[in-house]
Amino acid sequence: MHTPAQLRDRLLELGIERDLRTLTDWRQKGLLPQLQSVSSGRGRGVKRYWNDDVVDQAIAVDWLLCRSGRADEALLGLWLSGYSVDAAAAQLAWIEDLKRVQHRRQQAASRLSGRFSSLGRSWWKRLKSNAAFTLPWWRQLPDSDRENISNFLGDTQEWLRDDEERDDDAYRYAIADLIIGFTKTDRKVFYKQIDDVWADIDLKSLFAITSYIEFVKSMSLEELDAAQESLSSVTNMLRRVAELLGNADRVNAVIIPLLVMSELLGTLLARILIKTHRVIPEMPLEESIAILHDLVVRVQSTDIANKIDGRFAFSERVNSEWKVVTKKLSQLWDRALESED
């Protein structure tokens, strides 16, 4: 457990200098959990403390505030990364953030010859300069995989923001090609699957900015809480991967998944989870994330070895568990597709 003074001291050890008044301010704004109380014994008063995982949340708060300077944006970033914050407050922050983003992006795009395409490429260039992309996990990927990821994330930003000229077919198949490249799934089968899901869920309505705002407004607290659980699992997986691939530093281990979730993946995943559950409740997205999470967090550094070509080889234990997981996922999705038919 950590008292406020102990949290302050632990953060200082990690290179983050924040005083007790600041920590109180963060708690009052909902950026940190409420303190718990325990009796110190008869006549000795009450001790107020946080659980140990408050350290990671405080690291995340510090980074988000340094990045944006706004408490509401920090609150949203925390929620998108699965941290313990009030879902209703995060929802309001999300709506206000979308309105600000809409205004800023439209102004910025109007000044560029390529409009949202140039804006997306510029965003990706800035993101790639972050320390996360100088770490071994990124450098050790094959050039073709790095190029595919770079192009996909640049296309994503263009597609997310350009309501007028969005090319849904091209983006849909960009998603398919990226997944096929990593999973070696049969191209024809997967194209058919993504066409069906795309039509059912109507993903375009999740990204056109006006309908996007209305969709966030429509989210219930129950939906937000369920999505937050999955967001937390994904953040934990990303953190574990960062740790396994050469990033043992605690601050970076928190910031890398926070960057990915708050800047890109969190909003996308939350919307897909909630929209899919509304339209196709049989789809086992949450269960799939939970199964993958349980596998990833069990992987140890001794389970991974670098191959001569720069790729990674996993231990027999991990390979064996992966086969069990893929079989379980396959059974889950087969049952879901059968029930939908």
**What is the pLDDT at residue 112?**
47
Helix (H) or strand (E) holding 1: none
**What is the pLDDT at residue 317?**
92
d(CA 283, CA 269): 14
d(CA 141, CA 151): 15
Q: 133 exposed, middle or buried (CB, 10 Å; 0-12, 13-18, 19+)?
A: middle
Q: 270 exposed, middle or buried (CB, 10 Å; 0-12, 13-18, 19+)?
A: buried
Tens of pLDDT, residue by residue over 233-245, are 999 999 998 888 7
Quote the pTM value.
0.73
Q: How many helices (H) and strands (E) does the chain have?
A: 17, 4
Task: Name the packing angle between helices 143-161 and 168-183 (round to 10°).
Answer: 150
One digit per residue, the tens of pLDDT, for the chain of length 341 reads 888 999 999 999 999 999 999 999 999 999 999 988 776 666 666 678 788 889 999 999 999 999 888 899 999 999 999 998 999 999 999 999 888 876 665 555 455 445 445 545 555 565 556 555 555 555 566 666 666 666 656 555 555 554 555 556 666 666 666 666 655 666 676 666 666 666 665 655 666 677 888 899 999 999 999 999 999 999 999 999 888 877 668 888 899 899 989 987 899 899 989 988 888 888 888 999 999 999 999 999 888 886 665 567 888 999 999 999 888 888 887 777 666 55
d(CA 105, CA 237): 31
Q: What one-character-per-residue DSSP string does 155-198 give?
A: HHHHHHH-TTT--HHHHHHHHHHHHHHHH---HHHHHHHHHHHH
The conformational region for residue 115 under phi > 0 = left, psi -120 to 50 = alpha, else beta, is left
d(CA 198, CA 203): 6
Q: Are strands 312-314 and 46-49 parallel, antiparallel or unpaired?
A: unpaired
Which residues sit opposite 39 in a β-bridge? 46
**What is the pLDDT at residue 227?**
95
**What is the pLDDT at residue 202?**
62
Summarize the chain as % helix, strand, coil (round to 5).
70, 5, 25
